[in-house]
Every structure is written in C-alpha cells, then in structure tokens.
Amino acid sequence: EENGHQNKRLKTDADEEHVEDQNKKLPKRKIVLLMAYSGKGYHGMQRNVGSSQFKTIEDDLVSALVQSGCIPENHGEDMKKMSFQRCARTDKGVSAAGQIVSLKVRLIDDILEKINNHLPSHIRILGLKRVTGGFNSKNKCDARTYSYMLPTFAFAHKDHDVQEEVYRLDKETLEKVNKLLACYKGTHNFHNFTSQKGPRDPSAKRYIMEMYCGEPFVRENIEFAVIKVKGQSFMMHQIRKMIGLVIAIVKGYAAESIIERSWGEEKVDVPKAPGLGLVLERVHFEKYNRRFGNDGLHEPLEWTEEEEKIAVFKEQYIYPTIINTEREEKSMANWLSTLSIHDFNSSAVEMQANNKNSKNSSDLEGSDGCDDDSD
C-alpha cells in the first residue's frame, strides 16, 4: 500500500514536471486581461516591488500568473520582462469593474480558470483577448470611465435638511447636482484638483467628456446615487476633488462661482471626497479598435459578452463593500463634518500660508486612475 502511494506521488510529480516542460515550450503572446476587483484592504493597484509592507492588487495578480504557469518566476520579480502595463493606476481602497492590463504570457490551456484558481474571490479575471505585439494598455487607452457611489445625504443642505440616513434626494436637488457636474465638461485647467501641479503646468489641462449623477436608489435603508465621469485621463485625487467641490456647493458651504474660479491661476481650497465609492468602470480603446479591431487577426477591445459577469461581480463584491463600509465606518458622514473647516473664499496668499502649516500626508496615496505623468 505504501509502495502504491509512493508510486502515485512520483507519478503526480512527473506529471507536474511534464506540464511545466510543455508550458516552457509554449511561445509567449501579447494579451490583455479584463480584471475586476474590490480594492478594500489594498494599497491601490500598482505593485511596489521590494515593498511587502503595502499589499497591492498586482501582488496577488503576479503571484497567480506565476503559480498558474503563465509566466516564469523571474518575470514576476521583474515585470518589464513580460511587458506588463496597467491601464489605470487605482488609489488605495478604490475598486474596479473593468480594469485592463497588457502583458506577454504563455497561452496555456484553460488559462483564465487556472489564473482565477490562484486568486482570492474578490479579484477576478473576466476576459482575455490577443492584441498586437506593440500594444500598451496605458498608452493606447483613449478614455476612462469611473463611477462614484455615495449616500445621497451628502447633498442635504447644511441649514435646512435632515443630515442623516433618512434623507431622500428630491428632483430639484438632483437637477442642481447635474447642472454643476456638467460645468466640468470640456477642457479645463485642473491644477486645483490635484496636488503637486502648478497652474502653468500643461499637464494640468484635462478633457472631460461627460459627468452626471443617476437616479437615486435605496440599499439597506440608505439612499445612494452613482455619479459617472468619462475623461481622457485623470490626475491624482482629481475625481474625488471634483465631486467634493460639488458637494460643498450643494450643501451651502461654497458659492457656485468657485468652479469657474478654480480654473484660474489662483489657489482654491478644494475638498477631497472619500475614496470609498470610487470604481474604475471601464476603459476605452476607440482608436485601436478602428485600426486593428476588424483586421481579421485581432478582436476589438469590447467586452459585451462579459457585461453580465461584470454586473454579477459588482453586485457580489463591489457594492456590498461600499455599502457595508459606509454603514460601519461612516466615511462620508465623517468627511462631511470637515467641510466647515475649509475656507472657500480665501486668497492665494492665505492658502499658501495654511498649506505650509498643514502638509497632509494622505496626499501621497497614488493616482485616481491614470496620472499619465507620474506612472
């Protein structure tokens, strides 16, 4: 019996070695992976090689790629060897429903299943497509769409509305929110919506294609709404500050004219909404699709067949995380209580003096998505 058990074990080891040898013979191909993940508990998407202190989504992904046999172990240690590139570099705690990474892998059998077997359930690879050899998911991306899910009491007026979870958003307030969000459309100088960029830095100019807030809905007795924003690219904290400023106006802390003022050279105090509700929804490759999508060799980077899987993942992992964390940690309610501290009328000189006195360490979190200047 012991001999039989030993033979069986030797056979299994031999099988595994045979599979590994077969994998090594497979040519490497450039692909993209469609990823969804819940970002809670992670220090963002981007891996910091050599720093195990802060766990990132890419740490788990690279480990799964090595264990499944898609990439050799040394490629995991030096990601340049597999031409790895993420489309968007999400911040600490931020989730994604449609992140895209490009890399070279061995196209092993049942590749998606094998990678997912080595990933935690809150990180999934939902799709795979072959792409051109020179494809880079960050450089070839034309636009990104983010959503931001927030409890609607964030829009309750500070002086004459209920501030708690019983608040319900009325039609007039939603219209006002959407009128303000629409002001962001077009190209503007967003230097006031990020840190470390001056008013004359050309890279502070960003193009926003659309921004709006959808109809509210109730989950676990709290009313929520989702803001969608589509732009070419976003800088560190930009989306959270765009939303933070609109909340400050709707609540009655700041005048509507502050948005227009923020495009100018003057330094404006723009509050940054919590990171919890921010989700990378999808990334767009229109130019690539026009050129290569129908060339007979490559598929367009559209994910219609995966839409259902994306929706299921959001319902299972992303929305419950946002709702439960909001209920337990009250991140929005706590942040709202800090709005009164902001000085929305201060001059540039006063602001600079205040900034020197209070350098906020939380500004070093990373980027809301794809700060193409600092990746």
Catalytic positions, written as ranges: 91
Question: Does residue 146 have a known ligand-binding role?
Answer: yes
User: Which of helix, strand or coil describes residue 311?
Assistant: helix
- d(C-alpha 148, C-alpha 240), whole Å: 9
Evaluate whether 66 touches 76 at the Cβ level (below 8 Å). yes
- 278-284 and 95-106 strand pairing: parallel
Q: In this structure, is the dihedral angle defined by the CA atoms of residues 160, 166, 172 and 177, taken in order, positive or negative? A: positive
Give the angle 198-199-201 at the CA atoms, nearest 5°: 65
Tokens of 199: 């008013």
The distance between the two most distant Cα atoms of the chain, rounded to a whole number of Å, is 85
User: Which of helix, strand or coil describes residue 161?
Assistant: coil
Helix H or strand E encompassing 260 = helix 257-262
Binding site for substrate, by residue number, is 146
Binding site, by residue number, is 146
